[in-house]
Amino acid sequence: MKKISLLIIALSATFALHAQWTDDPVNNNHIANCSPDAGEIYISTDNETGDTYVQWIESGINGYGPALQRLTFDGTPQWGTEGIRITGHNFYSYSEGIAMTTTSDHAVVSCFATAQDQTVAVKIDSNGTYTWGAQGIALFNNNAFSRAELVAGNDGGVWALGYDYQRLYLQYINADGTLNPCITVDGGNYNVRYGKLTLGPENTVSLTYEKVSSNVGLYADKEIYVIGYSPNGTQMGPAVKLMSMQSFQVTYLHYAIPDGMGGGYAYIWHPAISNAFNTYVFHYNGDGLSTIDGQDGIPVHSTDPSNYYIEAYGTVDPVSHDLIIGYEQTDAVTQSQSRVYVNRITPTGTKVWGEGVLVADNVGVNYSNIMVDAFEDGTGFTVIYKRSGESSPYTSTVEAVGMDMNGNILWTKTLSSTQYDRTVSRNTAGFHLGQNIVAWVNSANGGLYAQNILSDGTMGIPVPDDTGIEEWTNDAVVTVIQVFNILGQPLKVNDLKELSTGIYILQGMTEDGRLVNKKVLINKK
């Protein structure tokens, strides 16, 4: 009878032998050709395979439309030097907004508004095949003409959200492209705009949205609500007001992210309270009910008329489910000085770090594109941001800082050190299988670039550390989620006994709820 013995080799997750990722901040990974005017870059990673999709838009023969590139876990581009450009539709010379997300069946969905004022969704599998056809699927009964949001379900389908500046339209697209009923969200005497989606259990969705007064001009009265729906269009309880009526600029929009417990956090910056700019945080539970007293939200920093606290970006710690939110402090008069802070806020609104933790101090430069991402095991997070050049505000580098859950800095890293004008992605990939990815366009010369960072601050694929080998125990990983070979390719395995002798990577959940990646040696003898 054969005996299977497993040994853990301690190292950061490494899935490829011939990586394209670099550890040189001067020479980052070039992933596609594009023009200097390209922008609206979004990133999304397949949770199981580690493949990452990058979408950008630029001018082409059919207008200002989207293109996509697929990267394997090691950073190797898969869809040629130009990526895949959506050519089945005509677009305006400007963007109406273009969303993108990966799906649970290992594909990517792009959603956009066309020059014919249709909202269309296109699905592309990992081989570059248009699963729903090159024309994709027209959504919302042709009512919406501006795309707002996408979020993937757990069955290969996606929720799509669009609007026409007066009302929102919400629809679930099944994995095969069939459409569930279109939901219309109407605000009566108010316009309903700028929705955000967070996925709940059984593919339900929470929609946060802004009710905006019909005032014509730059400023308006706003409220923020949350409401839940099932894929078949059923409304799950009444809409709940999160933010009371505030008056501020129409273009200051809220954001929402899931809390890992079926609810989510929403946040927005505005100057309506105390007549000074600050970022305010709200939280709703799985029933769509607010868990923070009052409807003014929790400010990330004490309101200070001499400074603004804006440009916020949040992540959720997978263990405590607290919000980790990064933001910029800039002076109110000239907006010439800049600092980066983070704060930690609980679902009930407690600010764990008081006035926040300073990440990057004012040294005569400006910081922007602040992005925060939690480590998968709940031990910390990274803050990635663009840092302007000392000699020119139009050139920049890309920097990263790793921090633990007590707000202590673990490491700092320059991801891209060459000074040039760049347009940085609207988001990062977030940590998947041990690495996080940021992308940007060289806005001076063209070209799309990307760089990975691991939770220990390592760029590129690290050298395995074979020290500290310990005996595998049954309770080390209580749930194995996915098995990969040494090349990073996912394997269909129902039982570890099916594996032959060799080295594999296991992604699994520990007894205390941590997501870990372990390199294991299976030796059958």
- Dump pLDDT digits (tens) for 89-116: 999 998 888 999 999 999 999 999 999 9
pLDDT band at residue 480 under the 50/70/90 scheme:
confident
Q: How far apart are CA 371 and CA 281, in angstroms?
A: 16
pLDDT score at 478: 57
pLDDT of 156 higher than 80? yes
Q: What percent of the chain has pLDDT over 90?
A: 72
Q: How far apart are CA 30 and CA 439, in angstroms?
A: 10
Q: How far apart are CA 102 and CA 219, in angstroms?
A: 36
pLDDT score at 488: 60
Q: How far apart are CA 46 and CA 206, in angstroms?
A: 22
CB 314 within 8 A of CB 324: yes
pLDDT band at residue 155 under the 50/70/90 scheme:
very high
pLDDT band at residue 423 under the 50/70/90 scheme:
very high
Residues 6+ positions from 452 with CB-CB distance below 8 Å: 21, 29, 75, 435, 436, 437, 459, 460
pLDDT of 269 higher than 90? yes
pLDDT score at 10: 32
Taking 3-state DSSP, the helix, strand and coil percentages for the chain, each rounded to the nearest 5, stand at: 0, 50, 50
Mean pLDDT of 368-376: 96
- Dump pLDDT digits (tens) for 18-33: 348 999 999 999 999 9
- CB-hemisphere CA count at 13 Å for 349? 17
- CB-hemisphere CA count at 13 Å for 5? 5
| Cα–Cα nearest to 208, from 241, 175, 182, 166 | 241
Residue spans of beta strands (DSSP E) within 250-318: 255-258, 264-270, 278-284, 298-299, 307-316
